[in-house]
Chain A
Amino acid sequence: MKHTDERPRPAPALPTREPVRLVDRHGRRVGHSSFTAPDPARLVELHRAMLIGRRFNQQAGTLARQGRLAVYPSSTGQEAAQVGGVLALSDQDWLFPTYRDSVALVAHGVDPVRTLTLFRGDWHCGYDPHRYRCAPQCTPLATNASHAVGLTYAARRKGRDVAALAMMGDGATSEGDAHEAYNFAAVWNTPVVFLVQNNHWAISVPLHRQTAAPTLAHKAVGYGMKGYHVDGNDAAAVYAVVSHALAEARAGGGPAIVEAVTYRVDPHTNADAPQRYRDPAEVEHWKERDPLIRSERLIRDEGLLGDAEETERALAAFGAEADRIADTVRERLADGDELDPRSLFTDVYATVPPLLEQEHALLADELREV
């Protein structure tokens, strides 16, 4: 058996420097040569999911301030990027999220309370990844990306049509693991879309200290992948572009990087001190580009929910639903699995080895003493 030398796909075109935008910050549609906005029902669905996400972020932030969560990395301002990406997934597809992506998990259908297990400190992951087709939220930067490549590779071998959305931040694209995952995906032609939320900051480090690339989407080209540069505060654009990239990847056209340009309005986590590294005016600038403002304006201006009265009623219902979910999170936060110290030992190996049995006995003695 010998190798043959072949090049799989034609060279991809450079991404546009101007991000793909379908709805501007005033809620007005913008024409685009390659992408069209999703249908009205989808636009409404995106708005609803973003509202739920915004309330979830606020609720989790409050719980963190009250000390009921150990920490919470908010994604306020990034809802369009997360929701737009996730709603583009099909039923069988997998999500590979980071710590920043709780809103994406909720939009993907993970129980909101179980989403917070990690940050509550009860366990590292509160849900069964197989049940939700969602990997545990990943903290070591960019390390989740190659898992998405491997999983979609395995699914293809088993004859299943499974694509994946691998999420990462702008800072994470500097990691070696991002590079390795992009390269593996491209060489193996696995259906993965790498959704990079460029929220401009990696804790305190701005993007220009992170990379000299013209855009993060440009990185794709060197791997023989397509790169898309998208207005990440335009849910319609994120949805359209990620849907397109997923469809192409599924059809064998190769993986892609989608850079969603957005902004982290809140501190990195509740423990961060953003006044030390960024100008508050910058935050104000981005608040004017809030993804929810524009989607609500679009819905109102175009009457996507009916006449003025129907629109008010429907939007109020969405708000009430978002409040209800947030309330449930607050009330059920104490729920969840019983914290049994025995569980420290049960799932380290497939069976509990003698060493851990001994340590369990020691711990049981200690517990009896108190």
Chain B
Amino acid sequence: MAAAPTTGVSMGEALNRALRDAIADDPDVLVYGEDVGPLGGVFRVTDGLAGEFGEERVFDSPLAESGIVGTAIGMAMYGLRPVVELQFDAFAYPAFEQVVSHLAKMRNRTRGAVALPVVLRVPYGGGIGGVEHHSDSSEAYYTHTPGLRVVTPGTPADAYSMLREAVECDDPVVFLEPKRRYWSRQEVDLPVRTEPMATPVVRRPGTDATLIAYGPMVETALEAAETAAAEGRSLEVVDVRQLAPLDDGVVTASVRRTGRAVVVHEASVFGGYGAELAARIGERCFHYLEAPVLRVGGLDVPYPPPKLEHHHLPDAHRVLAAVDRLQWESEWVDDGDGGRTLP
């Protein structure tokens, strides 16, 4: 397996640059949240921005997530484009009511009269040795809410491009940042614009099965595909990018080509976003499928303590084990006598 790049731009740096360019390009953009000012955010994603743009544009707010989102809603009603940081996945929960009852619904309630171009940046997911409440994969709470765009980048280039697009977007965007990938690097010249965030992309072409992943699991899926290739199995990797609203064309086209699919995410499997993907693939690719769609994810347990989190998090090994279960052994041959499976 190829070693992860140690040069180039990290995802955290790409996000920082995206914020900087967005603030510079549009006087209505402002960034606030907990510790995003002089400190630069606990993950340093807002590093240097308060110094460069001043407290008018980048500032620390009181410590109150519902108030952060509620005030952002009011600001957006009057023409600003706030980008707020909710420090960690699990600490975004106090804002849930504002997100679900107002942010997601304002356009609909007012028949389009009031748009809310608000970006909620939420570092999410595990894998960084965080103690409890710092590692939740909270995407399904948001994707189940019509009116929100829920996006998550899998590469530094996408992190830059999708954040710029999120800030420019007239819909509220929940921008989920896979925090364990903040330090993942890629050779890319910024600024960059990648494919529109609403479209999934094929990250790696393949012919035998499709791995569908997003956010932190894109890297894991690519690693699995690399290992499989060495073993003679060609896996295609699709990065979903915008989880909601989902444009599933790229996903279903890929699965129709390969005939097999494994959906991969970090979140617990039961009731997770992968269930939606699997159901859609089942509905749209049924006659193309050689095997049931499998889901790979975290265990259905509360997020474990740091010393046990590696048991929870899916890795390339768990992904490949699922690929092995895609009924390769039962290829059916018509022998004119009811059929038989290959040995």
Which residues from chain A sit less than 8 Å from chain B, CB to CB?
Answer: 1-3, 123-125, 128-131, 135-136, 140, 143, 145-155, 157-158, 162, 176-177, 179-181, 183-184, 187-188, 337, 343, 346-350, 353-356
Contacts and interface: CB of A to CB of B under 8 A. Distances in A.
User: Interface size bucket, B side?
Assistant: 35 or more
The 4 closest A-B pairs by CB, nearest first: A150-B74, A146-B70, A180-B67, A150-B71
Given A1-B38, A154-B80, A146 B110 contact: no
B206 to A, nearest CB: 25
A124 B108 contact: yes
B37 A3 contact: yes
B78 A155 contact: yes
A355 B102 contact: no
Given A157-B56, A184-B64, A350 B75 contact: no
B14 interface: no
Nearest to B39: A3
A153 B71 contact: yes
Contacts of B105: 124
B56 A147 contact: no
B245 A146 contact: no
A98 to B, nearest CB: 13
Given A180-B64, A181-B67, A154 B75 contact: yes
A176 B64 CA distance: 9
Nearest to B64: A180
A162 B80 CA distance: 15
Given A135-B77, A354-B248, 14 more contacts: A1-B51, A124-B105, A129-B77, A143-B70, A149-B71, A150-B77, A151-B75, A153-B71, A154-B75, A176-B66, A176-B94, A183-B67, A349-B147, A355-B246
Interface string B72-92: 111111111010000000000
Nearest to A137: B109
Interface of B: 30, 37-38, 50-51, 55-56, 60-62, 64, 66-67, 69-80, 82, 94, 97-98, 101-102, 105-115, 146-147, 149, 169-171, 198, 245-249
A292 to B, nearest CB: 33
7 contacts: A3-B37, A123-B109, A140-B102, A149-B70, A149-B71, A184-B61, A346-B112
Contacts of A162: 78
A242 B76 CA distance: 26
Contacts of B94: 176
Contact of B109 (A125, A151, A180, A343): A125
Contacts of A348: 107-108, 146-147
A146 B249 contact: no
B74 A153 contact: yes
Given A146-B67, A348-B108, A354 B78 contact: no
Contacts of B246: 355
Given A2-B38, A154-B80, A128 B71 contact: no
Contact of B102 (A3, A143, A347): A143
Given A136-B110, A356-B245, A350 B61 contact: no
B97 A151 contact: no
Instruction: Count chain A CB atoms within 10 A of each CB in B38, B50, B114, B247 and give the residue with the most.
Output: B114
